[in-house]
Amino acid sequence: MKPILIKNARVYSPDDLGVNDVLMAAGRFLAVGPDLSVSLPGLETIDAKGKILAPGFFDQHIHVTGGGGEGGPVSRTPELVLSELIACGTTSLVGVSGTDFITRSIENLLAKVRALSAEGANAWMYTSNYRFPPTTMSGEAAKDIFMVPECLGVKIALGDHRSSFPTVDEVIHLLADIRLAGMITGKVGVLHIHSGNIPGAFDMYREIVSRGFPIKHIRPTHCARIRHVFDSAVAFAKAGGYIDITTGGSCCFKEGPAEAFAEALEAGVDPKLITMSSDGHGSKPRFDDKGNMVGLAVCGIECNLSTVQKLIRDYRLPVPTVLGFITRNVADSHGLAGQGRVEEGAVANALLFDEDFSLTDVFSKGRQMMRSGEIIVKGTFEA
């Protein structure tokens, strides 16, 4: 892989570093600073004057093997392909499973995560899906975390008519296993929780934390799909927990998920405790008041990029704050110090934007994947 020197870009790490040069080689950022003088064999130099350089986006909730299934086999959503990630600046991801615990195996999820990694993305996964006890590969959630390097934690669903409705004691026992497995492996170990519309889940979290369990392992997502969940999530974050706001699918705010981010900040939530994810390739089912599915669509993954653009262009939020939601915050919350930032030694995931935050170039693990708006690296079976 040839080394790349990007010159004269306005660099956000996501902190604003001003105009700098950035050197990438062997998949890492080797140097960030003004007027770098570099002599390396095969060096490619890109003049990015007038452009913005930011970390690649890190989406912690994508159904890489497809989601859905609520309406029978015909409603299974398709698998993700690499070019979809590149098109919206997503260089790192955590793959998840969803409602379908029968035909969407965890082994298949792991294989897809490894395939995307081989194609050029940075990819991890959570074991299990909506079910409790968790659906695993080894027979135990803790063993999946220990035995599979890509496995960062466990996913379940709470407060959803499709979930298994575990008790507080059952959830805290699972959390204890996750925490211990994380300690043994050097991972954070997280319980990634699909938040449904039925009240009660955040009451459960409060009780668990009140018993002395560390809040950092409890990770609710879909935190802005209904108002009472959002309000509870804000209180949870103000107590020190991470909350994840989904940019795809339904949202309780009139202006969409961008308004949810703005309101959470206005309510006093530490921006470092807020993350963003797409729910990409998940299904968007609509149910009537009797629980019958009456419609189905597929979530795209471009919604993170459009939400970032809206927060910066329309809401005028600080660029470092907005970029943090989808870069460093996600990496730090999972203990992945080499991800989500532009700094020496970090994995060379980077995006170039025009001054209006239109995406033009994508680099993943030091390899250019998009050039001047054209995707130049695609997945194995893409035309």
Q: Judge contact between 335 and 187, C-beta under 8 A.
A: yes
Q: Sign of the C-alpha dihedral, residues 160, 166, 172, 176?
A: negative
In angstroms, the CA 123 to CA 149 distance is 11
Q: For residue 282, which of 71, 45, 80 has the smallest C-alpha distance?
A: 80
In angstroms, the CA 127 to CA 106 distance is 6
Which is catalytic among the residues 100, 279, 332, 361?
279
User: What separation, in Å, do the N-terminal and C-terminal C-alpha atoms of the chain show?
Assistant: 23
Half-sphere exposure of 329 (CA within 13 A, CB side): 23
Run of H or E including 329: helix 328-333
Q: Kindly report the backbone phi and psi dihedral angles of residue 179, in degrees, each rounded to the nearest multiple of 5, phi listed first.
A: -60, -45
Q: How far is CA 263 from the centre of its chain?
A: 21
Q: Judge contact between 61 and 223, C-beta under 8 A.
A: no
In angstroms, the CA 21 to CA 45 distance is 10
In angstroms, the CA 370 to CA 90 distance is 11
Catalytic-residue membership of 203: no
Q: Sign of the C-alpha dihedral, residues 154, 159, 163, 164?
A: positive
Q: Judge contact between 300 and 248, C-beta under 8 A.
A: yes
Length of the chain: 383
In angstroms, the CA 11 to CA 13 distance is 6
Q: For residue 214, what are the CA distances in angstroms to 92, 175, 222, 223, 364?
A: 26, 10, 21, 20, 33
DSSP state letter for 283: B
- Would you name the residues annotated as active-site residues? 279
